[in-house]
Amino acid sequence: MPAFAFHTYKSQVMHMKQIRKKAFLPALLLISLSVTGCANNEDGRSASDNPDYDLTQVSNKSEISQEIANQAKRTILKKQEVIGARAVNTSDQLLVAIEIRQMDRFRLKKLEKNITSDLEKKFKDKKVTVSTDKKIYLELDELESRLQTKDVSEQKLDKETNRIKKLISDEA
Amino acid sequence: MTSNKQTNQEYKQFAKQRETKRPILKNCIRAFLVGGLICTFGQLISTFYIHFFHFTEQNVGNPTVATLIFFTMLLTGFGLYDKLAQFAGAGSAVPVTGFGNAVISAAIEHRAEGFVLGVGGNMFKLAGSVILFGVFSAFVIALIKTLLIQWGVL
């Protein structure tokens, strides 16, 4: 904790030392921020030229077409409050994770509800689950990446989807 | 009786003149900055848990609090938290680290009196009231919320 030390200094030399120490914490913060900043996906999913939002598109190489998930992502990203979306669909389910702009996070619950009902109206034959949780976003991102690059069987996809769905409703 | 009151007032005025003024604004700024730094550190821990372990935003709070208290334990044991508290005041007392510090410093202080009567009896001397009022106010709020939901307000 270098910040509290500056009023106890005795001499100029000590003071110099503390200035050097003081720069340490912001530097650490900066480094950790920049490290988390450049975790971009490099598997050709990125589909937006606009830096304001983060859209990915999974090709239809996998066993189950991800067209519905792609469509859902495009629909929600039209909303101004949404800056990122990841989605995966199975034969009967649609799992969506969204990232909300910071200032709009005050209305997080309401937005989540609105988007869920919108998607439910649009995709009546799927069971829609929407989450704003960062963990779900990360998990779906990973699953999308696997669907894009590797062959994922239908059972495997169902299993993963159920696992992520369980995470959403995990309270404790 | 009246003269007693008068001298009391006189004394208060006298003391007020002699007292060194507390730098309230400076203390507030310090508390804000240090408290904010502690919370930033907590946010870093929860982000770490979300990224590398199986925790969602819903349930990442518990391990984060546990980790923060663990770090407070180390800082208290090495005598660093006192210095931080001297500088930051409320900034180091309001986050959960202040609660950890209250428990751990009491445990260290009364270690010489034995484990049952010393540590066990005195550990929650200060933190006990935090737990009591915390639990009680949570109970009251939950009661209000339940009633409001029952009546269909919320």
Contact A96, A76 (CB under 8 A): yes
Task: Check pLDDT > 50 for residue A46.
Answer: yes
Mean pLDDT of A104-123: 91
Structure tokens at A81: 């409050």
What are the residues facing A56 on neighbouring strands?
Answer: A46
pLDDT confidence band for B141 (50 / 70 / 90): very high
Mean confidence (pLDDT) of chain B: 91
Task: Supply the pLDDT for residue A16.
Answer: 53
CB atoms B58 and A133 under 8 Å: yes
Name the nearest CA neighbour of A114 among A139, A88, A78, A86: A78
Task: Check pLDDT > 90 for residue B62.
Answer: yes
pLDDT confidence band for B106 (50 / 70 / 90): very high
Name the nearest CA neighbour of A172 among B20, B33, B58: B58
For B56, the closest of A5, A29, A170 (CB atoms) is: A170
Least confident of A19-33, B18-32, B46-60, B106-120: A19-33
- Where in chain A are the domains? 2-37, 67-168
For B58, the closest of A5, A32, A171 (CB atoms) is: A171
CB atoms A172 and B33 under 8 Å: no
- Where in chain B are the domains? 22-123, 127-154
For B56, the closest of A5, A32, A167 (CB atoms) is: A167
Mean pLDDT of A154-170: 88
pLDDT digits (tens, 9 = 90+) for A135-151: 999 999 999 888 888 77
- Quickly name the fold that domain A67-168 has: Alpha-Beta Plaits (3.30.70)
CB atoms B34 and A167 under 8 Å: no
Whether residue A133 lies within 8 A of chain B, CB to CB, comes out as yes
pLDDT digits (tens, 9 = 90+) for A54-90: 777 777 666 778 888 888 998 898 888 899 999 999 8
pLDDT confidence band for B77 (50 / 70 / 90): very high
Task: Supply the pLDDT for residue B103.
Answer: 92
